[in-house]
Amino acid sequence: MFKLTAKDLSIHYHIDKQTTEFIAVDQINFTITQGEFAVIVGPSGCGKTSVLNAIAGLLPITSGSLLLDDQLIDSIRKDCAMVFQSSALMPWRKVIDNIAYPLEIRGYSRTKRYQKARQYLRLVGLSKFEQSFPHQLSGGMQQRVNLARALNVEPSLLLLDEPFSALDALTREYMQDELQRIWLETQNTVVYITHLIAIPSPK
Ligand SMILES: Nc1ncnc2c1ncn2[C@@H]1O[C@H](COP(=O)(O)OP(=O)(O)OP(=O)(O)O)[C@@H](O)[C@H]1O
Ligand SMILES: [Mg+2]
């Protein structure tokens, strides 16, 4: 059972030598345990992506600490997979080849990587589209392929940066339900960033 802990985590950016540094994240604290579905909610520019990048080891933190169990996260973590707001699929590769790609660069055999790719394509409900190219899919379907590709590496941490915010409201709600189903099935640890929350209307 692993634990991800942020203690007084701050992230500052240095824009240029003249201007003072910009404080993007200011002394935040959280703990995420294995198997949890954690959500980071906040308005645009409040530092969500910065936190996610730091968790993935892509961005150095300025002060405080970010620990996985008792180890400082200080380099790129290969056991993290990320899905971004916009589709990051390779347009010249078919859906199934996109999903198999991360296992190709990790040196898996062709049989193994396509067997796993098909398994995750089924999980996101797109088996019929394995031979399609990304441009032949809708935005929501492309995001599902992105999700399948991220799941294919069986990451210990799945980092989702507003993956559905470019979709229409109905598809987004459907995808959030789908994500919940997939999370229950895979029992992944998920950090999900969003600025879209349902605000109940006043009676
Ligand atoms: N590379 C950078 N250099 C300088 N400032 C940056 C850099 N990246 C982000 N920032 C600043 O840090 C702040 C937080 O950015 P971040 O991308 O983490 O926000 P966010 O919460 O993900 O926003 P959004 O919801 O719009 O994606 C912003 O004010 C932004 O201007
Ligand atoms: Mg962001």
What DSSP assignment string belongs to 135-169?
GGS-HHHHHHHHHHHHHTT--SEEEEESTTTTS-H
| Residue nearest ligand 1's atom 1 by CA | 13
- Report residue 66 as tokens: 């970010």
User: What pLDDT shows up at residue 197?
Assistant: 75
In total, the chain counts a number of residues equal to 203
Report the separation in Å between the CA atom of 24 and the middle of ligand 1, taken as the mean of its atom positions. 7
| Residue nearest ligand 1's atom 30 by CA | 45
Surface-to-core class of residue 185, CB atoms within 10 Å of its CB (0-12 exposed, 13-18 middle, 19+ buried): exposed
**CATH code for the part of the protein at 3-194:** 3.40.50.300
Strands (E), the chain: 3-13, 22-33, 37-41, 63-68, 71-72, 80-83, 157-161, 190-194
User: What's the pTM?
Assistant: 0.90
User: What pLDDT shows up at residue 113?
Assistant: 94
Does 48 contact ligand 1 (Cβ within 6 A)? yes
Report the separation in Å between the CA atom of 44 and the middle of ligand 2, taken as the mean of its atom positions. 7
Does 45 contact ligand 1 (Cβ within 6 A)? yes
> Which residue numbers in the chain have pLDDT < 70?
199-200, 203
Domain ranges, ordered by start, for the chain: 3-194
